[in-house]
Amino acid sequence: MDRREGLKGFSAQLWADTLRETRRKRPLVYSITNFVAASFQANAALAVGARPVMSRNPSESREIAAGADALVINTGTPTEESVEAIRGALSGAGEGKCILLDPVGYGASSYRKSLIDSLISEFTFSHIKGNVSEITLLAGEKGAMTGVDAVLTASPPAAAVRRLSLRTGSLVCATGETDYLGDGKSVLAFSGGSPYMPLVTGSGCVLGTLMAVLSAGAGNDPAAGASCAIVLLRLAAEIADRKASGPGSFRSELLDALFRVSPEDLLEEQNRMTVKE
Amino acid sequence: MDRREGLKGFSAQLWADTLRETRRKRPLVYSITNFVAASFQANAALAVGARPVMSRNPSESREIAAGADALVINTGTPTEESVEAIRGALSGAGEGKCILLDPVGYGASSYRKSLIDSLISEFTFSHIKGNVSEITLLAGEKGAMTGVDAVLTASPPAAAVRRLSLRTGSLVCATGETDYLGDGKSVLAFSGGSPYMPLVTGSGCVLGTLMAVLSAGAGNDPAAGASCAIVLLRLAAEIADRKASGPGSFRSELLDALFRVSPEDLLEEQNRMTVKE
Amino acid sequence: MDRREGLKGFSAQLWADTLRETRRKRPLVYSITNFVAASFQANAALAVGARPVMSRNPSESREIAAGADALVINTGTPTEESVEAIRGALSGAGEGKCILLDPVGYGASSYRKSLIDSLISEFTFSHIKGNVSEITLLAGEKGAMTGVDAVLTASPPAAAVRRLSLRTGSLVCATGETDYLGDGKSVLAFSGGSPYMPLVTGSGCVLGTLMAVLSAGAGNDPAAGASCAIVLLRLAAEIADRKASGPGSFRSELLDALFRVSPEDLLEEQNRMTVKE
């Protein structure tokens, strides 16, 4: 990767190297996450060679975070204890490791909105990854949110990604039929995948896990890890789609595909990415 | 549906219309449920076109309930917070939407019994759906309960369904090899399905989710939604049964089948229902 | 089984009888366990004919434990309430039933270490089953633990199993590529299985569930149940391995195989076990 080009310099070679290194290093990823997606996220982490650990207990979150190679903070199904655990983990994580925020349900309640706003203002995240509604609202767009994946009429996702990245300093990803990934300078768009993806609960949470894991595998490079995760998941989804006969079998096939995709397979994936702005 | 006939007037056409409308409207279903079945329930909701949201947090349950199209209250794996969340959701849900109670574990402990009794006395539910043991005990039968699915020697399920419905004003469903659905006037019996169903954890919870989702899809018609859910799940179970080689593959196949069954398929299902009394 | 021979006298006939009796008796197994593996454990219990019940609520754990045929205490994802529920269940379980401790995450944090140490010092367990890192650390070996499945350079697993068993009086199992099972006198080693096993989250937790369930089925015989569980799970894993194309399909196939393995199939499994010391 030519660092002078920033995000635009991403190449398929970088993704192949990232996946290879991740499988070799077996990063320890600590997730504080919701109980709906937790099992799926743990299985996805294992499928790409990582070692997942999960706990929502404030008496141990600081210590576990300190020892982990990467951190995933997912705000789904929060409890009083899990929120305290999140704060402990973020305080104790230490320097130099990737910390991803998945602001699940931003806008679904004023409680969730306050929680996420305060986390962003108090702590620094290497990545913020949400669905397009969450990212758009976080970027300051007005709009009605219903449930956890509402579709808004709003400005284009790429603009929201850029704006939120400029405000937070985080690499930002907005997921949807197209995934947008951007820092303050450029925004990339990623295509492909499968229409089954939004029909499997936790598939967005899985992307967050993969981003954190692969960023650690890439030597704590948030952009290499995030782009590799998007490409890997979309390729795996296409493989799974061809074998699946519905969302139930798709979920199993997706884990199989995440396990089977090789670094070499990613070398063919350059065209999945386009520079949006 | 000829409303003068009540439950007895259900027709396969009603079920087809209910499924079609549900897929079109994409109702937002808010479930406060146990952590064992949550993922399965969310995937089942997605498979029939609904949008699931889950939270057991009392700081947001009222607000989420107010914005949802239907509510599922499932008493499995209760915590102090989740019970408080349930009360908040029920207080804040507002008028005109279906609210289903799944009294998981009624009789498994005196704590669970008190919890469920107090919910039924304080709040109004459009549906109460439990396994035959739970419904029989709730209807006032005496009997020993062991675990969450004990078989009792007791009066016929149809009588318990009728009695509980008369006492609560809710539409009542008792599940088992045959499902019984009744209001105070009539009781229907539904046959078919698969012997794998009781071997998959959360399959009863999934029925509760489908009932709530389809009731919202049917324009907040509890009886249309509940009967459609039973028929749809039993048909999907039969399709899955033919492809499965055990309870693990059955679970995946069931989600595939829920996704693939079309409104037209339900037109063939009239014979699954018989009028019991 | 010739009781004079202790563990060494195990025969395939004992395993076949244990599985047959378990399927006939349908033991009620109460698990206080983590939210990541709970669903998988419940499905595994159902697949071998048991009836699972789960709750992490201290207001009912004592009563549920009193009525259960076997108890699984799994320390994954602990909360303040779940730890209190564990203590209640252990206090109220009563005599004569198998109680298995799965010390998940021992060494992952000082909180988890204290919790598990105090449980072992205050209560008596029929079984302690952990991965080789957890058992080695519990046996008093020094070593660094990272995450929940760290590999340590330490003394041979068989020695750790023997030492921990002598200290606690529990039957001890250390899992890994080879599983070691021992009391204070002898240690057995079990081979076979599938490389997919460690790639499926909760597969170790499932072994704990099967051990408790089958011990109850064997008339509260911890050694018969534990050895049968190891053999059954490794045989099922081999069957699943041949059909799977990755860890996602393996998980489904494993549940299918657990359901389909017959008592007669276990008669062929004597060679899976060797006497280690």
- Per-residue pLDDT of B233-266, as tens digits, reads 999 999 999 999 999 999 999 999 999 999 999 9
Domain segments of chain A: what residues? 3-275
Is the CB of A244 less than 8 angstroms away from the CB of B256? yes
**Nearest Cα to Cα of residue B57 among A90, A81, C273:** A81
Give the three-class secondary structure for C149. Answer: coil
Is the CB of C60 less than 8 angstroms away from the CB of B108? yes
Predicted confidence at residue A154, as pLDDT, reads 56
Predicted confidence at residue A150, as pLDDT, reads 54
- Whether the per-residue pLDDT at A176 is higher than 70: the answer is yes
State how far the Cα of C92 lies from the Cα of B250, in Å rounded to an integer: 37
Quote the CATH superfamily of domain C3-275.
Ribokinase (3.40.1190.20)
Give the three-class secondary structure for C79. Answer: coil
Q: How many residues does chain C have?
A: 277
Mean pLDDT, rounded, of chain B: 93
Chain A residue with Cα closest to B250: A248
- Whether the per-residue pLDDT at C5 is higher than 70: the answer is no
CA angle A52, A250, A188 (to 5 degrees): 70
DSSP C177: S
**Nearest Cα to Cα of residue A230 among A38, A100, A120:** A100
Chain C residue with Cα closest to B144: C67
State how far the Cα of A172 lies from the Cα of A164, in Å rounded to an integer: 7
In B153-172, the residues whose Cβ lies within 8 Å of chain C are none
- Structure-block tokens of residue C18: 């244990």
Predicted confidence at residue B41, as pLDDT, reads 98
Binning chain B into helix, strand and coil, the percentages to the nearest 5 are 50, 15, 35
The structure's pTM equals 0.95
State how far the Cα of B90 lies from the Cα of B96, in Å rounded to an integer: 13
Cross-chain CB nearest to C146 (options A39, A67, A258): A67
Instruction: Give the list of residues 6+ apart from residue A156 with CB closer than 8 angstroms, or none.
Output: none
Cross-chain CB nearest to B36 (options C42, C68, C257): C42
State how far the Cα of A213 lies from the Cα of A41, in Å rounded to an integer: 11
- Between helix C247-260 and helix B247-260 the angle, nearest 10°, is 120
**Nearest Cα to Cα of residue A246 among B47, B207, C248:** B47
The predicted-structure confidence for C203-258, as pLDDT tens digits, reads as follows 999 999 999 999 999 999 999 999 999 999 999 999 999 999 999 999 999 999 99
Partnered with residue C71 across adjacent β-strands are C30, C99
B201 and C CB contact within 8 Å: yes
Å from A46 to nearest chain C CA? 5
Contact indicator for C147, A25 with CB cutoff of 8 Å? no
- Whether the per-residue pLDDT at C2 is higher than 50: the answer is no
In order, the DSSP letters of B180-245 are EEE-SS-EEEE----TTGGGSTTHHHHHHHHHHHHHHHTTS-HHHHHHHHHHHHHHHHHHHHHH-S
Mean pLDDT, rounded, of chain A: 93
Is the CB of B255 less than 8 angstroms away from the CB of A248? yes
Greater pLDDT, C4 or C268: C268
How do strand B127-131 and strand C127-131 relate by DSSP bridges? unpaired
- Structure-block tokens of residue A106: 């931003």
The predicted-structure confidence for A126-173, as pLDDT tens digits, reads as follows 999 999 999 999 999 765 555 555 555 556 899 999 999 999 999 999
